[in-house]
Structure 1
């Protein structure tokens, strides 16, 4: 892939190149010499403009998809524009307020992550992606509260003050004293541990006969742990929303590309691996087309930014994926601000 520095371009070539890229990103169609010579364009004849376009094409920065159809940037051209010429448009006060309000979702952190993915999709017109934090909080206590003869509510409290509830199905005939005994037993063993650590210790103690619990209490403890264990195992590594945005009018012209992209998004583990590359970045990263192997066939772009907890530790990555003609100048600061806003909600 050609790597042409901006210093190799004349001022005239830079102006024309910038207009072609901006026109393509705005309208999604190749830009012709007549449009470039029109109002707001460059003060050159169409013939002179065509000569410069031909030079830019020979450098691998522009391409002509069809005869006399104008030019559009190549992936190399987009990279040159994004790295050296793009002027970002920071979110407005109203847009910032909307983002922060949309993320204020009550309940488990997964609710906020789902809201973030949907938000990214809505504000960018692409598909939104959020990588779920894989860290486990340290626990404080677990209480079992009777709801009915065959159900109890398991209330799990983390050391960070976060509270999550799950309904536990009972075998029947469980009284209040059994619920209290099971709650006390679990709480005494989960303090300061992660859920994975606590489950392993309690299961080992029960299976070895060292628990000093009666059969009813043992059954209740195991049922409660099973609910949380299943919940942890089923938590997604990646939340994707807005895939329908990828099926726009231009997609009808290239159904194979879109089908390939949607197939890639179904393999969420692979997408999460790609986003891992953005975890160590100091700022928002942009992957254009074949720069990443996963989306090379679909020719898509990914804009990703790490998000941090309140202590400044990177805990995940969020971003958007869409066609290479994304409005990078607008989307990049949107993704960056959303990442910082989400970080304020992470304990």
Structure 2
């Protein structure tokens, strides 16, 4: 891909003006518009020649034969990585973000943060919630039908969640009660991972008072919860309606595709999860990620950290490729740093 140093100064100036004009208006930028910006001392004809050169390099595109130019995804990437000058957040914007993290349960504060980020950026705000293993308080098995039961977990925080699980057809009813009583009495106060280790130790040392059927039930119950907890991404999305703007009226299919992608949170959560390994901001532009190849959307995401410095979650925004990167990037970065302070 072409790098910024490879472009001459004149080409860089024209390219920057086209990109900034497009990101501001959403419309292709013509040579006459650039000539009126001033500072270039180039005629519209000379500017058109430079724009043609940039188009041949794959950095600009002309949506119509007589229209101006707009940046391609390659051009946006070049601009974001090598030419963009980020803005500074206002005191009001900083206060709005910090004000959402002062009180209330963690998930509620994260939801509020996602909401305010959405409002400030005019995009959809997204937060990947820290993975917190539930601590067991009480467990129950409720028979549904032969070979099926509902596993009920009551967490120490008062949360209650249910999972349907498959059972051997010959499991006697007393085994359900025995397994539930054992888990509530012996595994209370432990996380799922700790409970699994404790059960394995008990069985290995021959200390478990459970019969084989009840042991199998406890193992199955722990397994269904552990697998679900590790696979299930918890993501909060706020402000998806911001993605439908007046300019989208001519591109309803793209908007529909994007909303479908947001509705399928698991795929987007996996994308955000890839930002956990990053030390700083990650920006995905359009088809650079196959998830957004059809909708032509961009994601700006930054990890936030826990008390031990490990990444515990990701915060960011989803919007069209034509978003104000210079303004939104520092906004997401400040939000991530604010959440890191919240985790401390």
Match of 1:32 among 26, 30, 33: 30
Q: How many residues align?
A: 292
* Aligned residue number for residue 268 of structure 2: 271
Match of 1:62 in 2: 60
- Say whether residues 1:289 and 2:275 are aligned partners: no
- After TM superposition, the structure 1 = structure 2 runs for residues 101-180 of structure 1, keeping only pairs within 5 Å, are 101-107=99-105, 109-136=106-133, 156=156, 164-165=157-158
Correspondences of 1:181-330 after superposition (within 5 Å): 189-191=187-189, 193-195=190-192, 197-198=194-195, 237-330=234-327
Q: Is the 8 A contact 1:278 1:317 kept in 2?
A: yes
| 1:280 to partner: Cα distance | 1.2
Superimposed CA distance per residue, residues 187-238 of structure 1 (whole angstroms, 9 cap, x where no aligned partner): 87444x3156459979x979759xxxxxxxxxxxxxxx9xx99x97998621
With over 3 angstroms needed to count, the CA separation of the structure-2 counterparts of 1:110 and 1:206, relative to structure 1, is farther
Whole-Å separation in 2 of the counterparts to 1:343 and 1:52: 45
User: Does the 8 Å CA contact 1:19/1:41 hold for their aligned counterparts?
Assistant: no
The residue aligned with 1:159 is: none
In structure 1, runs of 5+ residues without a counterpart are 143-153, 157-163, 169-184, 210-224
* Equivalent residue in structure 1 for 2:78, among 77, 80, 89: 80
In structure 2, the CA distance between the partners of 1:188 and 1:90, relative to structure 1 (3 Å rule), is farther
CA distance, structure 1, for counterparts of residue 342 and residue 248 of structure 2: 36
Alignment root-mean-square deviation, CA? 3.2
Match of 1:60, SS?
coil
1:68 shift after superposition: 2.0
> CA offset at residue 135 of structure 1?
3.4
- Does the CA-based 8 Å contact 1:105-1:115 persist in structure 2? no
**Aligned residues of 2:126 and 2:236 also touching (Cα < 8 A):** yes
Give the alignment partner of residue 15 of structure 2, picking from 9, 12, 17.
17
Cα pair distance change 1:325/1:195, threshold 3 Å = same
Secondary structure of the 1:294 match is helix
Any conservation in 1 of the 2:233–2:266 contact (CA below 8 Å)? no
TM-score by length of 2: 0.75
Partner SS, residue 38 of structure 1: helix
Instruction: Give CA-to-partner distance per residue, 1:236-270, whole Å, 9 cap, x none.
Output: 62111111011101111111111111111111111
Partner of 1:257: helix, strand, or coil? helix
Structure 2 gap segments, 5+ residues each:
139-153, 162-182, 213-221
Normalised to the residue count of structure 1, the TM-score between the two structures is 0.75
C-alpha separation in 2, matches of 1:166 and 1:74: 48
Residue 233 to residue 313, structure 1, CA distance change in 2 (3 Å): closer
Question: How far apart in 1 are the matches of 2:282 and 2:68?
Answer: 30
Shift of 1:137: 6.7
Name the SS of the counterpart of 2:258 in structure 1. helix
**Structure 2 vs 1, CA of residues 314 and 28 (structure 1 numbering), >3 Å: closer, same or farther?**
same
How far apart, in 2, do the equivalents of 1:14 and 1:39 lie? 15
